[in-house]
């Protein structure tokens, strides 16, 4: 048995159309198994973290387009582990922020908002720290909460001042795509 990507009902692994909602190619994870699983296993066996990061990111991106929430969550958690091992700070922060702000699949990574901020501080990247604050504060405001948490207001003002004085060079995130990290040397 499997799950339908659309209606989440139980379906047979080999169905072409969901008998419950009519979705074509409805089986969650099937496309991942067919397109990625063998390549991922080879990269794992070789301990090739860069290839794993590329494959996981591509599957993560595709799972959001389909959408396949099962693979999306699995890939988010797998990417977190690999990005930490690679010290790929920009991608890790992006992943955490995406997890907090994604309108359909937020919450795949436990405590992602806290992890995003703490990781930015830990790696000493004020540009990433400000990016996290700006991104997550917007989400907080959207859900009728105050923007910046009180204990971080002073720090955010410091960062905004540094940014306006040209003391911080913000990392420019690439356009979101399956290949968005390919030119960064990490993967």
Measured from the Cβ of residue 81, the count of other Cβ atoms closer than 10 Å reads 14
| Average confidence score pLDDT of the chain | 91
- Structure confidence by residue, pLDDT tens digits, 10-40: 999 999 999 999 999 989 999 999 999 999 9
- What tokens does 136 get? 């997550």
Residue 75: Cβ-neighbour burial (10 angstroms; 0-12, 13-18, 19+): buried
Residues counted in the chain: 187
Q: State yes or no: pLDDT of 84 exceeds 60.
A: yes
Domains and CATH numbers, the chain: 2-12+26-184 (1.25.40)
**pTM of the entire predicted model:** 0.89
101 in Cβ contact with 93 (< 8 Å): no
- What tokens does 148 get? 């910046």
């Amino acid at each position: 048995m499997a799950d339908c990507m659309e209606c989440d009902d139980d379906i047979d692994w080999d169905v072409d159309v969901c008998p419950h909602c009519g979705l074509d190619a409805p089986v969650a994870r099937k496309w991942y198994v067919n397109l990625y699983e063998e390549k991922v296993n080879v990269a794992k066996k070789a301990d090739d973290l860069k290839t794993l990061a590329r494959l996981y990111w591509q599957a993560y991106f595709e799972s959001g387009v389909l959408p396949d929430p099962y693979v999306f969550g699995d890939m988010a958690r797998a990417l977190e582990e690999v990005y930490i091992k690679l010290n790929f700070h920009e991608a890790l922060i992006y992943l955490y922020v995406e997890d907090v702000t994604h309108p359909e699949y937020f919450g795949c990574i436990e405590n992602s908002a806290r992890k995003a901020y703490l990781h930015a501080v830990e790696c000493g990247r004020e540009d990433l720290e400000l990016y996290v604050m700006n991104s997550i504060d917007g989400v907080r405001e959207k859900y009728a909460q105050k923007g910046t948490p009180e204990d971080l207001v002073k720090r955010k003002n410091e960062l905004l001042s540094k940014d306006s004085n040209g003391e911080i060079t913000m990392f420019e995130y690439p356009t979101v795509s399956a290949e968005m990290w390919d030119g960064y040397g990490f993967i």
